[in-house]
Chain A
Amino acid sequence: MRIDIEDLGAHRGGRPVVSGVSVSVPSGTVLGLLGPNGSGKSTLLRAVSGIASPSSGRVLLDGTDLASLSRRETALRVAVMTQEHSEEFEIPVLDMVLLGRIPHGHGFGRDTGRDTAVAMEALGRVGAADLAHRSFSALSGGERQRVLFARALAQETPVLVLDEPTNHLDIAHQLELLDLVRTAGRTAVVALHDLNLAARSCDAVGVLAGGRLAALGAPEEVLTTGLIRSAFDVDSTAVAHPDSGRRHFIFDSRTSTRRRDDAAPATPSPEGITLP
C-alpha cells in the first residue's frame, strides 16, 4: 500500500510541531525518519497513523484520504507501535498480541482459533513465543518492544508505523527486528535514532529538523557528514565498510562552535523518493 503525505502540518499539546512535510512511500518500501529529539518524528507518525488528525495537509493510503476512513477501517490498514503504554492493569503477553486482532473481529466475540494462531505466529517471528504466558509488565524493555512489534504484525495490515522500535533492544534483536520489517512485504514508516542502522535497513530516509523535512532520499545520498552536522550538531567522519564498501559514520564530537538554532536550514531535496 502506497503512502502519500501531502504538505502535512501537525500540532502536539496545542503547539505546531510539524509543518509542510511531503513524502511519498511506495508500496512495500521502508522509510526511515531521523532527527534529533523534539524534531517532530513522533508527532508526524501520530498523524500518519491516524491516531491524531493533522492540522493541515493530508495523508493518502493508495489514494484514499486517511481522514475519510473510520477508526476501524484505519486499523485494518495501519498498525502502530508507539512508545506509550499504560501500566495500571495487568495483561498477559498473548492477550496483548491478541489485541491486534480487534479490528478483525466483532464486539464481544471470542478470539477465534485463527486469531490465536496469528498471534502465536507473530510472537514466534519476533522470537518471543516462549513469553506468551508471561505478564507483559514483568518483561524487560527489549522483550516488551518485541511483543509490541508482534502485536503490530498480528494486526495484518499493509502499513506499519513504528516509533523507535529498536529502543531497549540488544544489537542482535535490533538487526533482526529491522530485517523483519524489511522482509514483511509491508510499507513501513520507522522512526530511528541509529543513523548507521537506518542506512542499512531503509529504502529511503527523511531527516526532520525543527518540524520540517530537512532532507529526503536514498540513505547513501542523504546521509552525509554535512547533514549530520546541520541536523544533529555533531561532527562525524564517514568511513567505508571494509567488505561492503557501505558508508558508516563515526561520531567525533558535538559541534561546539554553533548551536542548532543558528544553523542554516538545510536545503530540502525535491519531493518524492527516488528509489534504487
Chain B
Amino acid sequence: MKTSVFYGTLAASALLAGAASAQSTLETVQSNGELSCGVSTGLAGFSAPDANGVWQGFDVAVCRAVAAAVLGDPMAVNFVSTTGQTRFSALASGEIDMLARNTTWTFSRDVDLGFTFAGVNYYDGQGFMVNRELGVSSAMELSGATVCIQTGTTTELNLADFFRVNGMDYEPVPIETNAEAQQQYLAGACDVYTKDSSGLAATRASFPEPGNHAILPEIISKEPLGPAVRQGDDQWADIVRWTLNALIAAEELGVTSANIEELAAGTDNPEINRMLGSAGELGAMFGLESDWAVRAISAGGNYGEIFASTIGEQTPIGLARGLNAQWTQGGLLYAPPFR
C-alpha cells in the first residue's frame, strides 16, 4: 500500500544525505523546527503522556526547556518513546537529538558508547521496595528473595554486584516495562522491586494502597541521571548543558517564571544580567539568541519549580529534594558561573 513512502523517502533521503551529514545538530533542529527528544515509554512524574497525549514530567521539562532555548517554543518537541533497550541506538543513529530518559551517567556509556552527558538533573540511587507484610527492614535480609528488575538498565548490574558481594542469592525476574513490573510486584510474583529510588517512589505513588509498601533504607548505587547527547558535537552538548545549568542557577539566583519578565529587563545582579542576556553576549557564543535562558526558564520555571510541579512533595510522587537541593541548602546542585 505504501509504495510511495518507501521510494519517496529513499529518493528524498538520497538527495538530502549529502547536505545532512554536514549539518550540526543545532542546524538540524533549527531547520526541522522541532527538537526530537527521547523519553521513557511512561514513568509517572518523569515522562508520561496525559489523557490528551501531551507529554508531562520532570525529564520532559528538560526537553521543553532546550526546545524553548533553541527554537523559542517549548511545545516544538517531538517526543520519541524509547525502551531501556532502544534508547542508545536511537541517540547514536540520530533518530533523536537528545536523550532525557532517567539515564545513568557511567564511564562506559560516556566513553565506550560515545555519548556526552550534559550534566545531572537528578541524583538518584538504586533502592528496594518490599511489601510491609514481609517484615523486611533491611536489604541484607533479602537472601533467597525473588527480585523484579527492569531489563536493559544499570540496575541489573548493580543488583548482581550487591548480592554477590554480600554473599546472598536471589532469583531475578527480568521485565521489559515499568507497568509490567508493577503488575508482577503487586500480584506477588516477586518479593522485591528494585530500581532507582525516585522511580520506586513514582511507582509506589500509583499503587492503590501505597502505605503497604516500604522502600528499604539501603541505596546500593550512585545513579546520577542526566540528559545525554551524541559525542562529537560540542556546540550542541554545550547548549543542552547550559540550558540545564541555567535552570539550576535560576533557582539559586531566585529567578522564577513569575519574576523573569521583570528581571530580564535588567537587575543589579551582574550574573543574572549575563544569564538572561541583558548584559554580555553569552547566547551568541553558542549560536543562540541572547534571551535563550529567559525562554528556557519561562518554559516551565526554574529547576525548583519544575521539581515541585512534577515530582515534588506536593505531587502524588512526593519526592523530597534530598541530594537534589541547591548546594547552598546542603544538596549537590551546583551550577558553574555564567561568565
Our verdict on whether A and B bind, yes or no, reads no
